[in-house]
Amino acid sequence: MKYLTRTIWILSLVSLFNDVSSEMLYPILPLFLQSIGFTSVLIGMLEGLAEATAGFSKGYFGRLSDSAGKRLPFVQLGYFLSVVAKSMPGVFTFIPWVFAARTTDKLGKGIRTAARDAILSDDTTPENKGKVFGFHRGMDTLGAAIGPALALVFLYYKPGQYRLMFLLAFIPGMLGVLLTLFIKEKKLPHTPKVSFRFTQIFDYLPASPAAYKQVMVALLLFALFNSSDLFLLMKIKASGLSDQAVIGCYILYNLVFALLSFPIGHLADKLGLKKTMVFGLFIYAVVYAGFGINNSLAGFIILFVLYGIYAASTDGISKALVSNLVTKSETASAIGTYTGLSSIAMLLASTLAGLLWKYVSPSSVFLVSAAGTVVAAIYLSTMNLKPDTSNK
């Protein structure tokens, strides 16, 4: 497996440690916020602001990375900001500080995401990108399975000690930051500098290749129906199942996601990235249709296994697909624009899902998402995409 270079291994381990840190906090975040005075409305505002920050910053810092001809400083700064910010609620718990910490955490994600994915793309060839992005995503998601498991163990012995867990999450996160010091960056061509604007996220799209624009339409259409995973967990709880069932299903999903990301990425390089992406979208539609009608634990277990297959077939694959459609000097801009606009679209999707949940029914959230995803999958399947040959 010569295509898994030293740099790809290090970045994958960095993501693993970062996700252990983040996902240790995921199961207890709503409980912690409520314990310090957050209402459901404030929690919604907090997550909305955080997602908007991540969305706009991914596009801007992707463009800035290409302009500077550098990747590594953005990766190091982004991970460092997130590690420090996500741990701060364990020290200061007043509401404005929690807003600042959560927003800074997402800003760190926005700073690093496009530059990190561009390093992965630049360190391999178009023929191996499915495997490389799949391997990285698998390591990342393995951390997302380890984190909640550690949280369950911790809360078993230290029930209610949420603030201490925030502080402990600093340790694996900082290990990931330290690992970035061992990455050696390749020199990239220097392009004209860009000026800062909040609308920077939209600047790359008009001048991007036609194939990139085509794919973006399909992927953003899907993102408009891809609401937060929180609604999946809420459906389990609304069906009368226990908190342990909720967290257990979430861990199962991450394990399947982690174990299958690399082999599916390997398969995608042989069968085609677009075909694999379309397959993943159809699996998503099946899962959401299932959530619309299922209320049993056995059904949820099957659906979360399928959901892990969907994630492994789309998350890294979509970035590999996008990066193959542009030149190397534009990789961070292309991925940053895609992930940034997707974050904003998913924020809209979650808002719509919340309205449907409250004013129509929980089932309507999943059935509408399934129908919209089928349309996006069919549209993507009809495209004849030609990768940019200068990206080799």
Tens of pLDDT, residues 27-71: 667 667 767 777 655 665 676 677 778 777 877 888 788 888 888
Tens of pLDDT, residues 181-204: 999 887 766 555 555 555 556 677
Give the number of other CB atoms < 10 A from CB of residue 149. Answer: 18
Q: 1 pLDDT exceeds 70?
A: no
Tens of pLDDT, residues 331-382: 878 887 888 788 788 878 878 888 888 788 889 999 999 999 999 999 999 9
Q: 19 pLDDT exceeds 80?
A: yes
| Token reading at 61 | 């810092």
Give the number of other CB atoms < 10 A from CB of residue 291. Answer: 26
Find the helix packing angle between 331-359 and 40-68, rounded to 10°. 170
Report, as an integer, the average pLDDT of 74-81: 95
User: Residue 314: enclosing H or E segment and its boundaries?
Assistant: helix 297-323
Q: What is the mean pLDDT of the chain?
A: 85
Instruction: Identify the residue with better confidence: 80 or 158.
Output: 80
Delineate the domains of the chain, giving CATH numbers in brackets: 6-182+201-391 (1.20.1250.20)
Tens of pLDDT, residues 104-113: 998 999 899 8
Q: 389 pLDDT exceeds 60?
A: no
Pick from 116, 114, 12, 100: nearest CA to 50 = 100
Ranking 26-30, 148-152, 214-218 by mean pLDDT, the lowest is 26-30
Report, as an integer, the average pLDDT of 258-281: 91
Report, as an integer, the average pLDDT of 310-321: 90
Report how far residue 380's alpha carbon sits from residue 278's, in angstroms, rounded to the nearest whole number: 7
| Token reading at 51 | 């997602």
| Token reading at 163 | 């603030």
Report how far residue 366's alpha carbon sits from residue 147's, in angstroms, rounded to the nearest whole number: 27
Res 295: pLDDT: 92
Give the number of other CB atoms < 10 A from CB of residue 138. Answer: 24
pTM: 0.77
Ranking 162-166, 194-198, 266-270, 312-316 by mean pLDDT, the lowest is 194-198
Task: Provide DSSP, 194-236.
Answer: ----GGGGGTHHHHS-HHHHHHHHHHHHHHTT---THHHHHHH
Buried b (16+ CB within 10 A) or exposed e, 357-388: beeeebbebbbbbbebbbebbebbeeeebebb
Report how far residue 310's alpha carbon sits from residue 287's, in angstroms, rounded to the nearest whole number: 9
Q: What residues contact 29, with CB distance under 8 A and at least 6 apart?
A: none
Task: Provide DSSP, 344-364.
Answer: HHHHHHHHHHHHHHHHT-HHH
Report how far residue 122's alpha carbon sits from residue 81's, in angstroms, rounded to the nearest whole number: 24
The percentage of residues in the chain with a pLDDT greater than 90, rounded to a whole number, is: 35
pLDDT band at 392 (very low <50, low <70, confident <90, very high): very low
